[in-house]
Amino acid sequence: AQTVTQSQPEMSVQEAETVTLSCTYDTSESDYYLFWYKQPPSRQMILVIRQEAYKQQNATENRFSVNFQKAAKSFSLKISDSQLGDAAMYFCAYHPTGGQNFVFGPGTRLSVLP
């Protein structure tokens, strides 16, 4: 069974600094998608970034970028120039191509310090 691990239950970062959230996953599939979702106190799940496993280039979305290491099954999220609005729970998720299930990690709670 596929699993997703986020080894950092909580992290904090100073405003304007950079922080990296870790995610590892376990799968025997070769084709899949990986996601980072953000959940602010409003509870709404918001897509941050998405990566296709067949693409070697790391995805970026403005201040958010990933470091995708397929062989190591690692998918970390880097947030640059952190802002107070980045404070939230962040979930890493795995989705196999052709499958219907998303597998979520337990989440990392990020605090941004002014």
Partner 1 sequence: DAGITQSPRHKVTETGTPVTLRCHQTENHRYMYWYRQDPGHGLRLIHYSYGVKDTDKGEVSDGYSVSRSKTEDFLLTLESATSSQTSVYFCATQFRGSSDTQYFGPGTRLTVL
Where along the sequence are the contacts to partner 1 (CB under 8 A)? 4, 33, 35, 37, 42-45, 47, 50, 52, 91, 93, 95-102, 104-107
SS in 3 state form for 9-45?
CEEEEECCCCEEECCEEECCCCCEEEEEEEECCCCCC
End-to-end Cα separation, the chain, in angstroms: 41
> Smallest distance, Å, CB 1 to partner 1?
9
- Distance CA(29)–CA(85), nearest Å, equals 35
For residue 2, the minimal CB distance to partner 1 (Å) is: 11
| Nearer residue to partner 1 within complex by CB, 28 or 42 | 42
Phi-psi region of 28 (alpha: psi -120 to 50; beta: other; left: phi over 0): alpha
User: Which CB, 3 or 69, lies closer to partner 1?
Assistant: 3
Q: Which residue, 29 or 81, is less far from partner 1 as judged by CB?
A: 29
State the nearest-atom distance from the C-beta of 83 to partner 1, in Å.
21
